[in-house]
Amino acid sequence: MFMGAILMLSFVSFLMIKSYLDNKEEYSYVTNPQVGDIYLLVCNETHSEYKYYLWKAEKLFANSLYFSANAYSYNMIATELIDGDGFYNSYYVIDKKDLLDLYEKGELVKVQMEYASGSGFDRILIEDEESLQSTIN
């Protein structure tokens, strides 16, 4: 008689535990970055539907990391890059505490640690000197 309710309660409990463990794992990825990690961020302040963008961890230091940005924005969580997209060979620095702040604010949505070579996440885009200088100036 109560078997349906017990099964439903078990299923909901399973989903809650899984969500908790996934969040805990994601938190550990953010607090312990590795070279090659892909960070999916969202900018909710934009009026465009293309509000997701990616960073890739390139070099790690004690309190900060260098990352490179990808060329395009996406309208959903990207599991692979479109043709022509990749990560620029120029680096930006972010403090690890600031990365954690982005996660806690919900702007850092996902950390992808492992990916197939066909996903495009290992693609490097070379910026020519002229566009690199215009970015700096």
Query: What's the number of domains the chain is made of?
Result: 1
Q: Which two tokens stand for residue 97?
A: 């505490």
Whether 6 maps to a domain, the answer reads no
Residue 112's CB is within 10 A of a number of other CB atoms, namely: 18
Residue 17's CB is within 10 A of a number of other CB atoms, namely: 10
Whether 125 maps to a domain, the answer reads yes
d(CA 107, CA 113): 18
pTM: 0.77
Whether 12 maps to a domain, the answer reads no
- Nearby residues of 132 by Cβ (< 8 Å), 6 or more positions away: 90
For residue range 57-83, what is the model confidence (pLDDT) as tens digits?
999 999 999 999 999 999 998 888 988
What domain range includes position 88?
33-136
Whether 124 maps to a domain, the answer reads yes
Alpha-carbon distance values, 131 to 34, 56, 85, 100 (Å)? 29, 20, 17, 31
Q: Are strands 124-125 and 38-42 parallel, antiparallel or unpaired?
A: unpaired
Whether 45 maps to a domain, the answer reads yes
Whether 13 maps to a domain, the answer reads no
How many C-alpha atoms does 39 have within 13 Å on its Cβ side? 29
For residue range 20-70, what is the model confidence (pLDDT) as tens digits?
777 788 888 899 999 999 999 999 888 889 999 999 999 999 999 999 999
Q: Across residues 104-128, what is the average pLDDT?
A: 87
Which comes out higher in pLDDT, residue 7 or 97? 97
Q: 54, exposed or middle or buried, with CB in 10 Å at 0-12, 13-18, 19+?
A: buried
DSSP secondary-structure letter at 82? Answer: P
Q: Which two tokens stand for residue 45?
A: 């302040």
**Residue indicated by tokens 């090659």:** 36
